[in-house]
A and B are shown apart, each in its own frame.
Chain A
Amino acid sequence: SQQGEEDPQALSIQEGENATMNCSYKTSINNLQWYRQNSGRGLVHLILIRSNEREKHSGRLRVTLDTSKKSSSLLITASRAADTASYFCATDPFGGSARQLTFGSGTQLTVLP
């Protein structure tokens, strides 16, 4: 079963614009992570936000977490063509016996030059 669900499923923007992707999840979590996947490649870890954090920054990435709404957002500022990829949120469920990261189905981001 999928814990995280991304929205929108697909997003197309112009280079230089900001891109916002959302993730909703169902159960309590220890942390939430965002990954990027370029076409035909493996996933790359972008950022991890813990359940007691509300916002985190890494370069052009900004992630927010609202545990009361069970949602997170990933903002990519000043997007570039190289940001074209699929983006996945993944949740680390609270209370698990070991790590079982659960991934959503992803948002396909296309940045047009």
Chain B
Amino acid sequence: NAGVTQTPKFQVLKTGQSMTLQCAQDMNHEYMSWYRQDPGMGLRLIHYSVGAGITDQGEVPNGYNVSRSTTEDFPLRLLSAAPSQTSVYFCASSYTAATSLYGYTFGSGTRLTVV
């Protein structure tokens, strides 16, 4: 089925470890983004991309890196995991980066725990 696929669904990391959260979409969407969701705080934007080779920072980018080498994939890298990065991470995509046109399609999330 078409959509946004995130892997893994669950992950436990030790402090200081690094890992990559994967996100792939098969809808030829131009725009992709990463959010984290923490209790009582809604979703906060980490990084986003308006097309292959173009990325930019969101509200909470520290400790995370992204790249967009293809239209389909937008991985999120945790450089050195910290307990403060314990959260649920969502990847979202949209047909276009232009405003006022389309909503986002979300993946099912990755629940990350850093101990």
Size of the B side of the interface (Cβ < 8 Å), in residues, is 30
Size of the A side of the interface (Cβ < 8 Å), in residues, is 26
Contact with A along B78-115 (1 / 0, CB 8 A): 00000000000010101001111011111111000000
A43 at the interface (CB under 8 A from B): yes
What A residues does B102 contact at CB under 8 A? 48
Per the bound structure, the CA–CA distance linking A75 and B73 in Å amounts to 36
Per the bound structure, the CA–CA distance linking A1 and B35 in Å amounts to 13
Per the bound structure, the CA–CA distance linking A51 and B100 in Å amounts to 8
Q: Indicate if the CB atoms of A31 and B99 lie closer than 8 Å.
A: yes
Taking the closest CB of chain B, its distance from the CB of A95, in whole angstroms, is 9
Contact with B along A48-73 (1 / 0, CB 8 A): 10110000000000000000000000
What A residues does B31 contact at CB under 8 A? 98-99
Q: Interface centre among B59, B97, B99, B104, by most A CB within 10 Å?
A: B99
What A residues does B35 contact at CB under 8 A? 103
Contact with A along B60-86 (1 / 0, CB 8 A): 000000000000000000000000000
A77 at the interface (CB under 8 A from B): no
Taking the closest CB of chain A, its distance from the CB of B41, in whole angstroms, is 6
Per the bound structure, the CA–CA distance linking A35 and B108 in Å amounts to 14
Q: Interface centre among A42, A48, A105, by most B CB within 10 Å?
A: A42
Q: Interface centre among B42, B48, B104, by most A CB within 10 Å?
A: B42
Q: Name the contact of B42 in the complex, choosing from A44, A45, A88 (C-beta under 8 A).
A: A88
Q: Indicate if the CB atoms of A42 and B106 lie closer than 8 Å.
A: yes
Per the bound structure, the CA–CA distance linking A33 and B59 in Å amounts to 19
From known contacts A2-B42, A41-B108, A42-B108, infer whether A99 and B97 are also in contact, taking CB-CB under 8 Å.
yes
What B residues does A30 contact at CB under 8 A? 99-100
